[in-house]
Amino acid sequence: MRHPWSVAVLVVLGAVAGYAAGTRPLQAQTEALPFMVGQTVELGFDASHSRRCRVEEVKGTFVRCRNLSTSDRATRWINLAQVAWMTSGVLSAEESRERR
């Protein structure tokens, strides 16, 4: 014996599946960053820790940054969501010769 409500349930499930298949997924809007590739930035993580580096690549909220410290020239990916503050600027001619 069939249940009369099963047809209604199947119709509703079909409608929901059709709607879900036809909708476009949400996409997050990318925020404009206050710097561009090649610029020097100083990223502050807290009151006592900051890093001055040259931006080499940007992917979403991550930035690949070459450290400008003479003791540590490592390149690191930094999550900008963890940065408390930042300053940006273009390298001067003297800095660009020294730091390359």
Strands 40-46 and 75-79 turn out to be unpaired
Domain count for the chain: 1
- In a domain, residue 8? The reply is no
The two three-digit tokens of residue 71, written as one number:
């003791």
What is the per-residue pLDDT across 19-66, written as a single tens digit (0 to 9) for each?
777 766 666 666 677 888 989 998 888 878 888 889 999 998 899 999
- In a domain, residue 83? The reply is yes
- In a domain, residue 68? The reply is yes
Phi and psi at 43, nearest 5°, equal -105, 125
Query: CA torsion sign, 75 to 30 to 44 to 54?
Result: positive
- In a domain, residue 88? The reply is yes
Query: What is the span of the domain harbouring residue 48?
Result: 40-99
- In a domain, residue 59? The reply is yes
Is the entire prediction scored with pTM above 0.75?
Answer: no
What is the per-residue pLDDT across 13-23, written as a single tens digit (0 to 9) for each?
777 777 777 76
Q: What CATH number does residue 80 fall under?
A: 2.30.30
Phi and psi at 14, nearest 5°, equal -65, -40
The two three-digit tokens of residue 22, written as one number:
């036809």
Angstrom distance (rounded) from CA 68 to CA 55: 10
Work out the number of other CB atoms within 10 angstroms of the CB of residue 91.
Answer: 16
- In a domain, residue 9? The reply is no
Which letter does DSSP use for residue 24 in this model?
P
- In a domain, residue 24? The reply is no
- In a domain, residue 23? The reply is no
